Amino acid sequence: MALLGLGGSAFRDSRVMIQNYRHYPINTAAARKSIVDHTTKRAQFMKKYGVFCGGQVDEAEYASPLALQEPDITEENVVEYRKRMKALFKGDIALFNKRAGSSYTSFDELKPCFVEEVRKKGNFGEYVLWREFNVDRWIEAHRLSHDTLKKVDPTAHYQLQNTYGQGVAGGNDYWKIHNRMGYNVSTDYGIYNSSGRTGAQRHTDEFLRSFNPDMIHRPYGGFSQDVKYAHYKPWRAALHRFAGYTHFSFLRSTWRLVHHSPFYNLTRYSQEVSNVLKDSTLYDGLGKLFLTYKWAKRDIAVYYHHKSMYAAFLLGKERRTLNHFSGSPLNKYYTGRQNLIYLLERLQYQYDFVASQQVEKGILDNYKVLFMPSCIALSDKEAEVITSFIRKGGIVIADLPPNSYDELAMKRAKGGVEGVKVLGKMFDDKDAGMRKTINDILVKGKVAPIVQAKEKIAGCEAMHFVDGNMHLFGFLHDPFEAVKITPFTAKLPVKGHIYDLRNGKYLGNADMVDCIIPYAEGIVFGVYPYKVNALEVKMPQSVKAGSDLTADVALKLSNGKAGKHIFHFEVIPPSGEARFFMKRNVEVKDGKYTFTFRIAHNDEVGTWKLLVKDVLTGMKQIKEFKVVK
């Protein structure tokens, strides 16, 4: 992986800005040339090594989430802002003033908007237009790097790294990131780092699964060395369809790796991760299974409303992206949305985020319910679409009165949306009364949870994956939401031949399962329209060194045609240890597969073994063969 440095050197030039303004502009001609030159040079250098992915490190962000910073105020950026506003408002400065709450006589007078000035003047609309313009410029800079990389190496992948979440002063509108930037791999922060509920603005992995569900995602983690994470993270990563994750393994603090100690000491946390993975079967095909199957369709949408974030920010007193003071509108925007996610998961529901652009184009037709956490600043079009959704039988639930402001954060004379069920207070999963209210609304609206259980289990997230008539149900214990989960019985929405995938057991033809979830880990059940009676493996008794081992593997079914299975293979030498390159996890679509493995000229002679496992049933076969010269 090549780091192209968009958040670092490619975004910097020699110009130093005024204190609290971004020091390294990205929108000057020189800055854009620097991006192209830097990306081209790095891509050309790395291409000869066969590097498959260029990575843009975005940790610096448009404006630092830790500092009192404003976006790029270079002259060239302001000139472009004036040009785009003139085009957007068709040259009518009076119309701009009406929408922005300003009093300019021409577009040539437009200037950057600074937080404290805007709060004093009340020209909220102008601030939102300025901020949205800068978000677009930020996305365009990343896209410029993407397009440059593709010119050098059309086969290369492109990824974004280390974003700090959705923040007012940053450039991260995740809907725009996933739809305009062009990247198809992610190593973004996506697994909890220090507590079950990290910074309330972080939902990056949930945004990803909603806006870019086929993204290859391998997030960063490991800043916390809490051993609970060693159990939780691998299972959360697998059941959320991550392709893996990166975690820091040495010393107690990542930042002491070089400067404070000459020793590379493996942490207890990292050793525990290794132990958990050995016992999890995730490496043995189970992790690949979740990447192969898709999420089952979800009936619940949660509104990701970027412009309401601006309105909430302007109504409060925060200055830094990572600030959200207790009880402030911005705190309610982030925290209410996060609480809602936990509330839905506790009731064994799943959800998709939907963005304003999707709502305006009719995406709500795919859902039965829309939740609106702090969606206080809607456009007229959004309000119209939501009203239509309700009239067609859709359910809409808001914590706070929606649409009190328009999409530019300008106060409406009359807010609200007819038919929306308004709770009157921030979503709170710890509020038993609110949980009951929402559960009753969903039950009455015939919105079924993933599974039915007598008790709504705190700390238990249920997931449903599907491929045709093949179903997988996963259950994850979050130790930060509940110390432990007592065993419970779950009624599944489908009936069929049930398998316990983790323990490799057939449980019969039914629609009920008894769930015993190991501490901070997960369990998985498969439900299929047939029973697998046998796993057959046909192969030679001996293989000559330097030639291929070939094995024909087939499932014998009770009835019907095989769905999508995963076969796990291990070629085990006489020493008894199969190295990682001696293992395979392969997708099988018709229940049959021919496995080949090259035996090296210098591999040891003697008795070897081939282990074959059908991941969807746990059935295994171990066949011996001899390697001869």
Residue 467 reports pLDDT greater than 60: yes
Same fold, 452-528 and 532-628: yes
Band of residue 326 on the pLDDT scale cut at 50, 70, 90: confident
How many Cβ atoms sit within 10 Å of the Cβ of residue 616?
A: 25
Output the six-digit token pair for 399: 């914590």
Cα(195)–Cα(488) distance, rounded to whole angstroms?
Answer: 26
Tell me whether residue 600 is exposed, middle or buried, using C-beta atoms within 10 angstroms of its C-beta: 0 to 12, 13 to 18, 19 or more.
exposed
145-198, pLDDT tens digit by residue? 999 999 998 988 888 887 878 888 888 899 999 999 988 888 887 655 444 455
Share of the chain above pLDDT 70, in %: 89
pLDDT at 379: 96
Domain range annotation of the chain: 2-69+136-294, 300-444, 452-528, 532-628
**pLDDT beyond 60 at 19:** no
Crossing angle between the packed helical segments 306-315 and 329-346, to the nearest 10 degrees: 130
Residue 215's pLDDT is what?
Answer: 86
Is the per-residue pLDDT at 561 higher than 70?
yes
Q: Which of 74-83, 145-154, 225-234 has the lowest mean pLDDT?
A: 225-234
pLDDT per position as a tens digit, 501-557: 999 999 999 999 999 999 999 999 999 999 999 999 999 999 999 999 999 999 999
Q: What is the pLDDT of residue 171?
A: 86
- pLDDT recorded at residue 623: 97
Who wins on pLDDT, 68 or 120? 120
Helices 124-152/93-100 angle, 10° precision: 110
184-212 per-position pLDDT tens digit:
888 887 655 444 455 545 677 889 889 99
Res 457 pLDDT > 90: no
Which secondary structure element, helix H or strand E, spans residue 552, and what is its range? strand 548-557
CATH: 3.40.50.300, 3.20.20.80, 3.50.50.60, 1.10.1740.10. Which one for 2-69+136-294?
3.20.20.80
For residue 9, what pLDDT is reported? 40
**Least confident interval from 42-56, 137-151, 609-623:** 42-56
Decide if pLDDT at 12 tops 50.
no
pLDDT at residue number 434: 97
Higher pLDDT residue, 292 or 247? 292
pLDDT at 264 over 60: no
User: Rounded CA gap, 517 and 508, in Å?
Assistant: 20
In the chain, DSSP finds a helix count (H) and a strand count (E) of: 15, 27
pLDDT reported for residue 1? 46
Give the model's pLDDT for residue 522.
95
Strand, coil or helix: 200:
coil
- What is the pLDDT confidence band of residue 591, given thresholds at 50, 70 and 90? very high
Lowest mean pLDDT among 61-70, 102-111, 172-181, 345-354: 61-70
Least confident window among 70-84, 261-275, 404-418? 261-275
Question: pLDDT-derived band of residue 259, with 50, 70 and 90 as boundaries?
Answer: very low
User: Which tops the pLDDT comparison, 568 or 270?
Assistant: 568
What is 360-399 written as a DSSP string?
HTTGGGG-SEEEETT--B--HHHHHHHHHHHHTT-EEEES
Q: What pLDDT was estimated at residue 431?
A: 95
* Banded model confidence at residue 214, pLDDT cuts 50, 70, 90: confident
pLDDT at 113: 92
At the fourth CATH level, the homologous superfamily of domain 452-528 is Golgi alpha-mannosidase II (2.60.40.1180)
Averaged over 577-601, what is the pLDDT? 95
CB 264 within 8 A of CB 312: no
Quote the tokens at residue 257. Answer: 């790796």
Query: Which range among 1-15, 66-80, 314-328, 489-503 shows the weakest confidence by mean pLDDT?
Result: 1-15
Predicted TM-score (pTM) of this structure: 0.92
Q: Which CATH superfamily is domain 532-628 in?
A: Macroglobulin (MG2) domain (2.60.40.1930)
Strand order in the sheet with 606-614: 542-544, 620-628, 606-614, 565-572, 583-588
Helix (H, G, I), strand (E, B) or coil at 251: coil
Q: Within 13 Å and on the Cβ side, how many CA atoms surround 401?
A: 9
Confidence tier at 20 by pLDDT (50, 70, 90) = low
Q: Contacts for 358-364 with beta carbons within 8 Å, 24 or more apart?
A: 358/175, 359/303, 359/385, 359/386, 360/385, 363/301, 364/301, 364/389, 364/394
- Quickly name the fold that domain 300-444 has: Rossmann fold (3.40.50)
**Which residues make Cβ contacts (< 8 Å) with residue 405, sequence separation at least 6?**
124, 308, 311, 376, 377, 411, 412, 415
Residue 5 pLDDT > 60? no
The strand pair at 488-500 and 505-515 is best described as antiparallel
Q: What is the mean pLDDT of residues 362-385?
A: 97
Give the list of residues 6+ apart from residue 183 with CB closer than 8 angstroms, or none.
Answer: 56, 142, 146, 157, 158, 159, 160
Q: Which two tokens stand for residue 606?
A: 């003697």
For 307-315, what is the mean pLDDT? 95
Q: Of 84-98, 225-239, 601-615, where does mean pLDDT reach its minimum?
A: 225-239
Indicate the burial class of 417 (C-beta count within 10 angstroms; 0-12, 13-18, 19 or more): buried
Q: Which of 140-149, 273-282, 559-568 has the lowest mean pLDDT?
A: 273-282
Rounded to whole angstroms, how far apart are CA atoms 224 and 323? 21
